[in-house]
């Protein structure tokens, strides 16, 4: 019986020991090396008494980071990816919530880890990856693990200004990866081009099919996403045939007409998600690469990863939206109206093994989104309410309509406008603020009342927030406009920015 | 040139675009900025930056970008 994702690694490492698992421009790990390093790193953690607890993995995005994740799992613990591009203040907030006793870092993050980690013990990956193995301890902890133990925590934007740590167990991840591999039809020949950061659940789409099936994942250098021809040349050089990317990374290629002159040569599968794929851009892809399978992937971090998919099988009008489609096997999705009754246009709710453990050390916010199924009062059953509004079309497919709250999707990332405001409001001298999202321009702007100068506030926000959450522009106003019932007039401010 | 600085300032009001020559190297501009810049340059200068000009050297400083625009205007 399969209990943990380590079973995937065991199988593949014995079946394909010499095949490359993960690589970047500078390094590569075979499956045997991945397993070997995981056992070594895991032994070091166990020898230090670190087990059944969160371990922060604060490294740059490399094959080594995957080995560190596996090492944490081998020690019976769960990993928490922290990215070297996250602002320090955000990492501090995450560490406050997490209180980790152990942090794994690499040479590039060592200094910063020392500053941030407090009392936590710091392990430098290169120093532990070839250590002696403690087989007895590894076997013992492995035997004690069950599939409902956490596997990882990923932090996502929270409207109060404190990021929320979504804790996910092995069972949910296995359930997801099994269905996902079936739908996508990956195999040993699959070569992924990894685009998303590892602290973002979209990266699971590359990582775990690779470990389960023996695919290869090539980490695409972050800076290439600014230079589309170089990006495609990279895909061709590494014979990448499968992309699971956020939409903005795909449109970066199509919008500049790169597909006609420098088409990706090996592509077979393009999965996309994070935001709506504009039909015009999709058509360019379809026209240049008609044989490729295009699959829309939808699902929040709180239900493990992708829970719904739609493989494009027909043409669309310019103003139509590509459907979210239908649920994966073993996921039930239904729409609820404001009175918790089933409806054909309402909030997307999910039921199944995909529903994660909840927010780490945060019972209050957990109980708001992870609730008893309102359609079932007979036994305990927790569902996740996504906050996304969808409708059912005449074909029975779900189509995204809007958000229930002020969460937006920007550059493929989930952003709570409230989190930006909470940070702004915490600045000395700021009385109130309102963040607006300009859909057409895909940018965030901010209005505020108070003493700090615009420049000053913006530089502060750049230190505090991840890049994708920093407003493009901030506007200082004497008084923010109010709606007739006394709330900040977000719509009015949005219109003001759009008019400029 | 002033108009170009204005476009850039609109994206990052806290950066000194007159002097900075490491806009790409220091990760000041990201892919989203590049897309915005290309579309604004197209709107205001009626210059379409082709994909083959999307290389780090053309975006590392306002001066380099201005040279690119001038070159494309002449063509």
Q: What's the pLDDT score for residue B75?
A: 75
Which among A227, A258, A473 is the nearest to B56, CB-wise?
Answer: A227
Taking CA–CA distances from A230, the nearest residue in chain B reads B55
A493 in the Ramachandran plot: left (φ > 0), alpha (ψ -120 to 50) or beta?
alpha
pLDDT value at residue A488: 86
Q: pLDDT tens-digit profile of A181-237?
A: 999 999 999 999 999 999 999 999 999 999 999 999 999 998 899 999 999 999 999
CB nearest A455 (choices: B11, B14, B56): B14
Determine the distance from the C-alpha atom of residue A385 to the mean position of all C-alpha atoms in its chain, rounded to a whole number. Answer: 18
**What is the predicted pLDDT for the residue at A484?**
80
Residue pointed to by tokens 């999705």: A333
Angle at A49 between CA A48 and CA A54, to 5 degrees: 105
For position B72, what pLDDT does the model report?
A: 92
> Looking at domain A1-145, which of 3.40.50.920, 2.60.120.620, 2.40.110.10, 3.40.50.980 is its CATH number?
3.40.50.980
To probe the interface with B, which of A196, A226, A413, A462 has the most B CB atoms within 10 Å?
Answer: A226
CB distance A316 to A294 below 8 Å: no
Select from A343, A296, A288, A346 the least CA-distant residue to A321: A296
Determine the Cα–Cα distance for residues A488 and A465; give it in Å rounded to an integer.
23
CATH of domain A407-499: 3.30.300.30
pLDDT of the residue at A160: 80
Tokens of A476: 């200082």
Beta bridge partners of A436: A445
pLDDT at A272: 95
Percent of chain A with pLDDT over 70: 100
Q: Which residues contact A85 (CB under 8 A, 6 or more apart)?
A: A197, A222, A466, A467
Q: A236: which 2 tokens? A: 């061709």
Q: Tokens standing for A457?
A: 């506030």
pLDDT confidence band for A60 (50 / 70 / 90): very high
Tell me if A227 and B52 make a contact (CB, 8 A cut-off).
no
Number of C-beta neighbours around residue A427 at 10 A: 17
Q: Out of A303-317, A325-339, A430-444, which region has the weakest mean confidence (pLDDT)?
A: A430-444
Nearest to A266 by CA among A246, A244, A241: A241
Q: Does B26 touch chain A (CB under 8 A)?
A: no
Q: Which of A43-57, A106-120, A419-433 has the lowest mean pLDDT?
A: A419-433
Q: Average per-residue pLDDT in chain A? A: 94
CB-defined contacts A:B, below 8 A: 57
What is the mean pLDDT of the segment spanning B14-20?
90
The answer to whether A256 contacts B30, with C-beta atoms less than 8 Å apart, is no
Does residue B35 belong to the interface with chain A, where contact is any CB pair within 8 Å?
A: yes
How far, in Å, CA of A399 to CA of A361, rounded? 34
B51 touches chain A (CB under 8 A): yes
- Summarised one tens digit per residue, pLDDT across range A10-55 is 999 999 999 999 999 999 999 999 999 999 999 999 999 999 999 9
Question: Nearest Cα to A370, choosing from A350, A385, A349?
Answer: A385
Instruction: Inspect the interface and report whether the beta carbons of A454 and B13 lie closer than 8 Å.
Output: yes
Please tell me the predicted confidence (pLDDT) of residue A452.
93
Cβ separation A472–B11 shorter than 8 A? yes
Tell me which DSSP letter residue B74 carries.
H
The pLDDT value recorded for residue B51 is 87
Only one residue has tokens 């380099």, namely B64
Interface test with chain A among B7, B54, B56, by most A beta carbons within 10 Å: B54
pLDDT at res. A500: 62
Q: What is residue A411's predicted lDDT score, i.e. its pLDDT?
A: 79
Could you report the per-residue pLDDT of A69-97, keeping only the tens digit for each?
999 999 999 999 998 888 888 899 999 99
Tell me which of A200-209, A375-384, A465-474 is least confident: A465-474
Q: Does residue A150 have a pLDDT over 80?
A: yes
User: What is the Rg, in whole angstroms, of the alpha carbon atoms belonging to chain A?
Assistant: 23
Nearest to A156 by CA among A147, A165, A148: A165
Q: Does the beta-carbon distance from A473 to B38 stay under 8 Å?
A: no
pLDDT-based confidence at residue B14 (cuts at 50, 70, 90): confident
Mean pLDDT of A375-380: 97
Angle between helices B2-11 and B31-45 (to 10 degrees): 150
Tell me how far apart the alpha carbons of residues A409 and A194 are, in angstroms, rounded to a whole number: 20
Point out the least confidently predicted range of A111-125, A254-268, A364-378, A476-490.
A476-490
> Per-domain residue ranges for chain B?
2-74
Q: Is some CB atom of chain A closer than 8 A to the CB atom of B24?
A: yes
A500: nearest CA partner in chain B: B10
Query: Please, which contacts does A5-10 make with residues 24 or more away whose CB atoms are closer than 8 Å?
Result: A5/A73, A5/A151, A5/A170, A5/A173, A5/A174, A5/A177, A5/A208, A5/A211, A6/A38, A6/A70, A6/A73, A6/A74, A6/A142, A8/A177, A8/A208, A8/A211, A8/A212, A9/A34, A9/A35, A9/A38, A9/A70, A9/A211, A10/A35
For the record, the structure tokens of A102 come out as 């152990």
What mean pLDDT is predicted for residues A116-129?
Answer: 96
Per-residue pLDDT, averaged over A364-372, amounts to: 96
Q: Which two tokens stand for residue A184?
A: 């996508």
Token readout for B17 is 């675009």
Which residue of A223, A255, A257 is in closest CB contact with B35? A255
CA distance B6 to chain A (A): 13
pLDDT digits (tens, 9 = 90+) for B26-58: 888 987 788 888 888 988 899 989 888 999 999
Instruction: Look at residues A146, A1, A134, A120 and name the one whose alpha carbon lies nearest to residue A71.
Output: A134
Task: Measure in Å the smallest separation between the Cα of B27 and chain A Cα atoms.
Answer: 8
* Domain B2-74 of CATH type 1.10.1200.10: yes
Total residue count of chain A as it appears in this document: 500
CA distance A262 to A228: 9
Nearest CB to A252: which of B29, B31, B59? B31
Residue numbers in B near A231 (CB within 8 A): none
Nearest residue in A to B36, CA atom: A441
Q: Where are the domains of chain A?
A: 1-145, 407-499
- Closest partner residue to A229 (CB to CB) among B36, B38, B51 is B51
Which one of B6, B8, B14 makes the best mutation probe of the A interface by having the most chain A beta carbons within 10 Å?
B14
Distance CA A82, CA B75 (A): 47
- A410, A444 in Cβ contact below 8 A? yes
Q: Distance (Å) from the C-alpha of residue B59 to the closest C-alpha of chain A?
A: 10
Nearest to A188 by CA among A319, A78, A31: A31
């Amino acid at each position: 019986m399969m209990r943990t994702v380590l079973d995937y690694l065991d199988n593949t490492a014995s079946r394909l020991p010499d095949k490359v698992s993960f690589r970047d421009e500078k390094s590569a790990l075979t499956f045997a090396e991945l397993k070997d390093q995981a056992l070594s790193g895991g032994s070091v953690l166990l020898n230090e008494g670190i087990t059944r607890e969160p371990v922060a993995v604060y490294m740059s995005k490399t094959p080594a980071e995957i080995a560190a994740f596996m090492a944490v799992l081998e020690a019976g613990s769960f990993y928490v990816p922290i990215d070297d591009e996250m602002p320090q203040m955000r990492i501090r907030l995450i560490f406050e919530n997490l209180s980790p006793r152990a942090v794994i870092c690499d040479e590039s993050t060592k200094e910063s880890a020392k500053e941030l980690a407090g009392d936590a013990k710091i392990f430098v990956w290169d120093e532990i990856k070839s250590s002696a193995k403690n087989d007895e301890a590894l076997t013992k902890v492995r035997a004690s693990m069950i599939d409902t133990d956490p596997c990882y925590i990923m932090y996502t934007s929270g409207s109060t200004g404190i990021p929320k740590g979504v804790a996910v167990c092995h069972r949910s991840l296995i359930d997801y990866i099994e269905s996902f591999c079936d739908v996508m039809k990956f195999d040993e020949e699959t070569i992924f081009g990894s685009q998303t950061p590892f602290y973002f659940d979209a990266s699971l789409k590359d990582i775990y099919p690779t470990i389960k099936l023996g695919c290869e994942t090539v980490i695409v250098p972050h800076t290439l996403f600014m230079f589309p021809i170089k990006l495609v040349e990279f895909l061709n050089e590494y014979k990448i045939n499968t992309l699971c990317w956020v939409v903005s990374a795909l449109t970066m290629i199509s919008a500049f007409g790169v597909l006609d002159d420098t088409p990706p040569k090996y592509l077979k599968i393009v999965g996309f998600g994070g935001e709506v794929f504009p039909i015009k851009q999709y058509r360019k892809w379809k026209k240049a690469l008609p044989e490729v399978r295009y699959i829309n992937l939808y699902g929040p971090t709180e239900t493990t990863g992708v829970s719904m998919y739609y493989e494009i099988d027909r043409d669309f009008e310019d103003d139509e939206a590509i459907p979210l489609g239908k649920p994966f096997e073993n996921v039930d999705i239904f729409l609820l109206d404001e009175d918790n009754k089933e409806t054909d246009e309402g909030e997307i709710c999910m039921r199944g093994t995909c529903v994660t453990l909840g927010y780490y050390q945060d019972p209050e916010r957990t109980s708001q989104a992870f609730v008893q199924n309102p359609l079932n009062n007979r036994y305990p059953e927790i569902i996740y309410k996504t906050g996304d509004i969808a409708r059912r079309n005449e074909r029975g497919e779900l189509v995204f309509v809007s958000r229930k709250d002020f969460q937006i999707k920007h550059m493929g990332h989930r952003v709570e406008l409230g989190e930006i405001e909470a940070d702004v409001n915490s600045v000395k001298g700021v009385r109130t603020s309102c963040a607006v999202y300009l859909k057409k321009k895909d940018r965030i702007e901010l209005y505020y009342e108070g003493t700090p100068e615009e420049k000053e506030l913006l530089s502060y926000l750049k230190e505090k927030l991840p890049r994708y959450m920093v407003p493009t522009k901030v506007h200082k106003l004497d008084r923010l406009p109010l709606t007739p019932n006394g709330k900040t007039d977000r719509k009015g401010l949005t219109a003001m920015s759009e008019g400029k | 040139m002033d108009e170009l600085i204005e476009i850039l300032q609109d994206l990052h009001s806290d950066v000194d675009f007159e002097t900075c020559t490491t806009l790409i190297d220091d990760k000041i501009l990201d892919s989203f900025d590049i897309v915005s810049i290309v579309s604004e340059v197209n709107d205001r200068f009626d210059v379409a930056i082709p994909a083959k000009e999307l290389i780090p050297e053309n975006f590392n400083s306002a001066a380099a970008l201005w040279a690119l625009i001038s070159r494309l205007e002449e063509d």
